[in-house]
Chain A
Amino acid sequence: MINEIVIISGKGGTGKTSLTASIIPFFDDLVLADCDVDAPDLNILIKGTIVEERDFVGFQIPVIDYDKCNHCGLCHTSCNFNAISEDIIINTSACEGCKVCEYVCPTNAISMHDAVVGKIFHRKTIFGPMIDARLIPGEESSGKLVAEVRQLAREVAYAENRNTIIIDGSPGIACNVISAITGVSKAIIVTEPTISGLHDLKKVVHLIKMFSVEAKVIINKYDLSLSKAKEIKDYLSLMDLEVILELPFDLKFVESISNLQIPSTTDIPFFSSKKWFDFIEYLRS
């Protein structure tokens, strides 16, 4: 059975992607899935060559045949999302793909078409295959896209007999996060000792509990506020969640990323500690 591990954070900037990258060198049967589609950063650190590209089709959007359109305006008044103007111009940003306009048009002037809104890439890297995606800016990074990235990651894992998939999830709590956490073996939540960090952590925990996912927490940069770190630990203890790792703030961590190096491959002492190795053992189990 494939070991699917997802790394998420409620708040952005907690160090999720840097930590995900740090875990990678410790696995030799890996497929990487970068599901943080709004900020697909893993491939900045982990370069790869493209093996395959697939178009990603978002939901369908309406296309108007102006030869048939009689400007009755029924589509404009029926649209609940203000996606069709009075002059019958479609605002694709606002459109949610419900097809009501196609249904109400009396002259069959509207038809729904697949819209390619991005691409999914399968790359070959020194650590194994990596699947990531790019969207046209402004387009919705949906649960569907995350699901397709994960699906391709699974296909590649089966095809190449690899037993672990590591998923870099998105920050937040919306459907792209939900899609990243469903059906995983383990979830790792990365948080930071700030008032925002704790606030957002609570929302993620709520989500995790709703989907009954096994989760452990990493408090990153814990020494920026020992009191906040303690508050987080107390909260997690109340929620029956384990803090599996506490990382100190280390300028070398940021420096290594700036030098495009994976932090755990540099001389940062933390990554030679027993705590780190215990954590890797847990991930492998």
Chain B
Amino acid sequence: MKIAILSGKGGTGKTTLSVNLFSYLDKATLIDTDVEEPNSHLFLKGKLIKEKSVIKHYPKVNDDLCDYCGKCGDFCNFNAIIPTKKKVLVFHDLCHDCGGCSLVCPKNAITYVDKEVGKEFHIQVSENKLFLYGNLTVGEVSGVRIIESLKETTRNEDLLLIDSPPGTSCSTVAAIDGTDYCIICAEATPFGLSDMKMVVELLRAEGRNFGVVVNKCNLGNDEIYHYLEEEKIELLEKIKFDREFASIMADGELLINHSQYFRDKMANIARKVLGDKYDQ
């Protein structure tokens, strides 16, 4: 079973939920697909068993063959290749690696060179628990390639938790692709409700099954519960905000190790979402 955990807004506690739920379960795999700002690894200790470079390509022009006709520059939609009369400039961080410039070059003067856009890390947390995350190199335009790599690596896992990027951009769409169920982590504030609605719209457009966990439920107002009721969306759990929790998380500790209340909440969510499949 593949379960994504997402949030419209950042800071709702999505990563807190992901790492604690993962730690609570006996046997599971977690992937952190928020490759711009991966945080899960700050809470999960284990052994690094693999580190992988995620590669894209960018064009290299052979000056001996090139006659500066300019066709590559005319074709490139991303302004990554700029031919002048004497040389061809390439901005590799703008290159989307589409292969177009090489196709249009009448002199076959273009070949491709590898560039690392980020890394993928595989961590063995315990005998039955594996954790993977990716890290996008600062300045690179898109993390989708790394997300796809993480998903490809874990496509045969029995129980996969996917900590998705916040928001509803193409990175999030890539992360939730192929999942069986989505847990939306929301907060009961006006911003939280507004951003959650965007996620609901996305999930409905994709026809996905989902439920909501309202985190920091004692901050904010009741509007979110009215909305969930009206829209017949499953409310999985409500978790309160406690300064103590914030302190514990601030130090990189897991809440299930310090709070029975929190542990019970994870148990409840696991039971509701996984049904008979969960092991505890």
* Partner-B contacts on A (CB < 8 A): 9-14, 17-18, 38-39, 41, 44-45, 59-60, 78, 80-81, 93, 96-100, 103-104, 135, 137-141, 143, 171-175, 178, 193-196, 199-200, 203, 206-207, 210, 221, 224-225, 227-228, 249, 251, 254, 257-260
Task: Evaluate whether A78 and B205 lie within 8 angstroms (CB atoms) in the complex, with A38-B166, A141-B167, A251-B219 already known.
Answer: no
- Is residue B247 within 8 Å, beta carbon to beta carbon, of the partner chain? yes
Q: Is the CB of A258 within 8 A of B250?
A: no
Residue of A nearest to B168 (CB): A137
How many angstroms from the CA of A97 to the CA of B142 in the assembled complex?
A: 14
- Tell me whether A225 and B251 are in contact in the complex, defined as CB-CB below 8 angstroms, given that A38-B166, A196-B42 are known contacts: yes
Chain B, residue nearest A194 (CB)? B250
Instruction: Report Cα–Cα, A2/B50, bound state, in Å.
Output: 50
Pick from B36, B78, B250 the residue with the most CB of A within 10 Å.
B250
Residues of A within 8 A of B12 (CB): 12-13
Question: Looking across the interface, which residue of chain A has its beta carbon closest to that of B171?
Answer: A174
- With a cutoff of 8 Å between Cβ atoms, the chain B residues found around residue A251 in the complex are 219
Contacts A93-B173, A98-B100, A174-B36 given; does A258 touch B11 at CB 8 Å: no
Q: Which of B20-28, B190-198, B261-269 lies at the binding interface?
A: B190-198
The answer to whether A195 touches B37, judged by C-beta atoms less than 8 angstroms apart, is: no
Complex: how many Å from CA A278 to CA B99?
53
CB<8 Å pairs between A and B, sample of 17: A12-B9, A12-B12, A38-B166, A38-B169, A39-B191, A41-B194, A78-B99, A99-B75, A137-B198, A137-B201, A193-B250, A195-B250, A195-B251, A207-B139, A225-B247, A249-B243, A254-B189
| Min CB–CB distance B112 → chain A (angstroms) | 11
Known: A11-B39, A39-B8, A98-B98. 13 other contacts (CB 8 A): A12-B166, A41-B195, A80-B97, A93-B173, A98-B78, A99-B75, A100-B103, A173-B37, A193-B250, A194-B249, A195-B42, A199-B37, A225-B247
Q: Is B141 in contact with chain A by the CB < 8 A criterion? A: yes
Using known A-B contacts A44-B194, A93-B170, A228-B250, determine if residue A98 contacts B77 with beta carbons closer than 8 Å.
yes
- CB neighbours (8 Å) of A178 from chain B are 139
Do the beta carbons of A13 and B9 come within 8 Å of each other?
Answer: yes
A41-B194, A99-B100, A100-B98 known; A175-B243 Cβ under 8 A: no
- Which residues from chain B contact A194 at a C-beta distance below 8 Å? 246, 249-250
Contact partner of B167 among A38, A173, A200, CB < 8 A?
A: A38
Q: Which residue of A lies closest to B148 (CB)?
A: A82
Lowest 8 A-B CB distances belong to which pairs? A13-B11, A12-B10, A38-B167, A98-B98, A225-B250, A137-B202, A196-B39, A195-B252
Does any Cβ of A come within 8 Å of B104's Cβ? Answer: yes
| Closest chain B CB from A39 CB (angstroms) | 5
Beta-carbon contact of B100 and A141 below 8 Å: no
CA distance A100 to B77 in the complex (A): 10
- Report the bound CA distance from A9 to B15 in whole Å: 17
Cα–Cα, bound, A97→B246 (Å) = 43
- Provide the residues of chain B in CB contact with A195, threshold 8 Å: 39, 42-43, 249-252
Smallest CB separation, B173 vs chain A (Å): 5
Q: Is B143 interfacial (CB-CB < 8 Å)? A: yes
